[in-house]
Structure 1
Amino acid sequence: MNCGLQWVFRLKRHSDGTIARYKGRLVVKGYLQEAGIDFHETFSPVVKPTTIRVVLALAHSGQNLVCRLKKALYGLKQAPRAWGAAVCPCIRDDIIVTGNHQGSIDAFVTSLDTQFSLKDLGPLNYFLGVEVEHTTDGIFLSQRKYIQDLLKQACMDQAKGSPTPMTTSTNLSQHVGSAIENESDYRSIVGALQYVVITRPDITFAINKVCQFMHRPLDQHFKAVKRILRYLQSTMKYGLHFTTTISLDLVGFSDANWGTDVDDRRSTTGFCVFLGGNSVAWGTKKQHVVSRSTAEAEYHSLAHTATEVVWLVSLLSKLHIAPSKKATIWCDNSGAVAVSANPVLHSKFKHVELDLFFVREKITVGKLDVGHVPTQDQVADIFTKPLSASLFTKFHSSLNVVTRREQKAVIKQLEAY
């Protein structure tokens, strides 16, 4: 008899591939449910990866935070919470409990355990495919096992490596190329690659680009995906290194690549934000409108970065953390920097009026500053276009994407500004 339920059995493994435990779960067959009858809510809040990175960066920034991993055995669906000195980011049923006072952490866990059955998995070292390794001056986040499994799934585990995830001559279009038979394979691999971006900001632009062709992938798009996989094959030991720092300044970099999409001539926004010299937020996004100038495209990107910085300031305030000084966003377009604080130039930017007033308001009330950075020091350049091997290596090192053996100091560019 079909009761709408099914047992799912899995092997949970450690980061080295050894068996951690046998797991069985009774799940509901979602495709048999009817809205309003079998369920009412279709949205379950899940913590943003940026929040996890912020918490881990704070835990190794002189805040004396202690991280432990808990697992809720049933019923936990809440978004991240802060309780006294304890912070609780939740991802499905995995909970990272952290705080600077052991007594508050113990009290929080005891209170939570009265409502949900918890299992103590010990100090944070492996969660949801992310490996956490403690170093002499911070922590190292990587997804080596996840990448290995993905390469095996794509039959690319023996492929020759490549120095960059995308060549500088790559110019993908939805109209150039031949149809492929295995469209589902393309979507499956690209979907899995999106998860790697959690600890690998260096592949963000390439992943964003191939994601734009999920509806109808062509052979040229699949070729670009294989290039990304070959790059991961050669950089499997790379990960995100958070260094110990006392300063908790927020510094953002904003960039745009004007009109580069050959299909609709929209521009690409790229940004990254550092907390105390550690990269905690980044992204690549195709802009929603066609920009009529480089300055306009840059200003759209600047407004997007400002939104992310303002959100991070709000998150830090909820965690009772105050940055030591006003947040700063660096942009390499002098026109966009000038108009952000100069109302005289307003008439030249009426077509971006909402973004104009949003950024200017944040500057006026003292929440952030906008400054000019030379193009050769624009870290966000890696999020807007394919780069040469030398530039790519320079910028991904600035993002603290390194190997386990490399111990990087605080980003040199941030010290200069």
Structure 2
Amino acid sequence: MKQPPGYEQGDPSLVCKLTKALYGLKQAPREWYYKLAGGLREIGFEATKSDISVFIQNHRGLKTYVLVYVDDIIVTGESTELVKEVIAKLNDKFALKDMGDLHYFLGIQVNKTCDKGLILTQQKYIHELLKKAGMVGCAPCHTPLPSTVKITALGGSSFCDPQLYRSIIGSLQYLTITRPEICYSVNKLSQFVQAPLESHWKLVKRVLRYLSGTSSYGLHLKRETSLGITTYSDSDWAGDPDDRKSTSGYCIFLGTNLISWTSKKQTVVARSSTEAEYRSMAEAVAELTWIKTMMRELLHPLPEAPMLYCDNLSAVLLAANPILHSKSKHFEIDLHFVRDFVNSKAIQVSHIPGSVQVADILTKAIPSENLLHFRGRLSVHNQQQMTATEDSGDA
């Protein structure tokens, strides 16, 4: 270490030794985490190995959970008295501000629904995003992207404000936390942040127009008695017109609640649709492995092996067939990774028709009719309608 230029004091070889971490320094979050984690361990909490930001306490069979994001904390559990006790103990160690029931967390609005569930929305965040792009009051549209669009990095004029493009795309990526149906659109458009074109910016504005008309929509989480895991895996083979790479997508449900999803461009070119589908299955299996471990650490082990659905029959048969076919020998690692889980009955794989493949919305731009159907399957609903239903029920 050395003194910063222009601020040298005395001997330039001497530097200050900090006795307390300063907020904003690179090492400050790490030091704060150690401080908070130590305080939680003193009152009986342990961090889960699957996610070090989640802490769990099992007190006489009653479980209490703490979720930490820097200095924003959610405390929940099976006993209201234990939750209050944990907050009181933490308040003795740290200067806390109890915000009461969860209503707003990291830009996400949390509202209760009539079915004793929650709906997570980012309506205020969407309004701020539209304001940043100068599109407040714009005409809405029915889909994030046209179903016939072919997005390419070649041709057309460069966009005049690349910084604005990158800023809007970054904000849209955070919005996918509660709006999984725009995952594919945001993933596709984020591939051009290095050198965006005017055509790319027009498509970004279309996504914003879609959000303008659906700003009150959010992710609905219902109270469930079943802990069964269902996964849908899909891919769009050679969908990129520039490098012919495929797009993988999967969505994972706990009961009927969507808990994990992704839309991601594959890193290698697939030689067949079977290979593209199989690589997507391998990514889904990796995520399922983490979720199974997480549920076990949360003291809620899964009652049965998760079910993985794929609409490519060849990929499904390949997962169970111990014979290496010549067309699949070049992706041997992925092949054995999925097959080991299938053979050990840790995961079940089954074929479904493409018409009911929910993950289709995560791999390609689809028509408005299909979008409405799959958006509902992803548990993305209108908060205003659910609130109106709740009010009428109370009346």
Common fold: TM-score over 0.5? yes
Residue of structure 1 in register with 2:199 after alignment: 220
Counterpart residue identity of residue 389, structure 1: S
Q: CA deviation at 1:349?
A: 1.4
Counterpart residue identity of residue 73, structure 2: I
State the alpha-carbon separation in 2 of the partners of residues 387 and 351 from structure 1.
Answer: 31
Q: Are residue 326 (structure 1) and residue 305 (structure 2) matched?
A: yes
Residue of structure 2 in register with 1:79 after alignment: 53
Residue of structure 1 in register with 2:339 after alignment: 360
5+ residue gaps, structure 2, are: 1-5, 8-21, 34-51, 388-395
State the alpha-carbon separation in 1 of the partners of residues 367 and 185 from structure 2.
Answer: 14
Taking a change above 3 Å as real, the CA distance of residues 276 and 219 of structure 1, as seen in their structure-2 partners, is same
Residues 70-109 of structure 1: matches in 2 within 5 Å?
79-84=53-58, 85-109=63-87
Does the 8 Å CA contact 2:29/2:70 hold for their aligned counterparts?
no
Q: CA deviation at 1:45?
A: 11
Give structure 1 regions of 4+ aligned residues with deviation exceeding 3 angstroms. 39-46, 345-348, 405-408
Residue of structure 2 in register with 1:265 after alignment: 244
Q: Are residue 342 (structure 1) and residue 316 (structure 2) matched?
A: no
- TM-score (ref. length: structure 1): 0.79
Does the 8 Å CA contact 1:257/1:269 hold for their aligned counterparts?
yes
State the alpha-carbon separation in 2 of the partners of residues 287 and 41 from structure 1.
Answer: 35
State the alpha-carbon separation in 2 of the partners of residues 298 and 337 from structure 1.
Answer: 9
Residue of structure 2 in register with 1:178 after alignment: 157
Residues 71-150 of structure 1: matches in 2 within 5 Å?
79-84=53-58, 85-137=63-115, 138-150=117-129
Residues 238-249 of structure 1: matches in 2 within 5 Å?
238-249=217-228
Counterpart residue identity of residue 380, structure 2: V
Taking a change above 3 Å as real, the CA distance of residues 143 and 90 of structure 1, as seen in their structure-2 partners, is same
User: Among residues 167, 170, 174, which one is paired with 2:146 in the alignment?
Assistant: 167
Q: CA deviation at 1:348?
A: 3.6
Counterpart residue identity of residue 163, structure 2: S
State the alpha-carbon separation in 1 of the partners of residues 328 and 31 from structure 2.
Answer: 40
Q: CA deviation at 1:102?
A: 2.8
Residue of structure 2 in register with 1:388 after alignment: 367
State the alpha-carbon separation in 1 of the partners of residues 229 and 147 from structure 2.
Answer: 31
Q: CA deviation at 1:351?
A: 1.1
1:325 is paired with a residue of what secondary structure?
Answer: coil
State the alpha-carbon separation in 1 of the partners of residues 96 and 378 from structure 2.
Answer: 36
Counterpart residue identity of residue 335, structure 1: S
Counterpart residue identity of residue 120, structure 1: D
Q: CA deviation at 1:213?
A: 0.5
Does the 8 Å CA contact 1:176/1:220 hold for their aligned counterparts?
no
Q: CA deviation at 1:98?
A: 1.0
Taking a change above 3 Å as real, the CA distance of residues 324 and 131 of structure 1, as seen in their structure-2 partners, is same
Q: Greater strand share, 1 or 2?
A: 1
Q: CA deviation at 1:43?
A: 7.0
Across the two proteins, how many residue pairs are aligned to each other? Answer: 346
Q: CA deviation at 1:105?
A: 2.3
Taking a change above 3 Å as real, the CA distance of residues 237 and 385 of structure 1, as seen in their structure-2 partners, is same
Cα distance per residue 1:354-397 (max 9 Å; x no partner): 11111111112221101101100000000000000101111011
Q: CA deviation at 1:199?
A: 0.3
Cα distance per residue 1:294-318 (max 9 Å; x no partner): 0000000000011111111111111
Does the 8 Å CA contact 2:216/2:384 hold for their aligned counterparts?
no
Taking a change above 3 Å as real, the CA distance of residues 109 and 377 of structure 1, as seen in their structure-2 partners, is same
Counterpart residue identity of residue 129, structure 1: G
- TM-score (ref. length: structure 2): 0.83
Does the 8 Å CA contact 1:45/1:79 hold for their aligned counterparts?
no
State the alpha-carbon separation in 2 of the partners of residues 406 and 41 from structure 1.
Answer: 44
Taking a change above 3 Å as real, the CA distance of residues 176 and 298 of structure 1, as seen in their structure-2 partners, is same
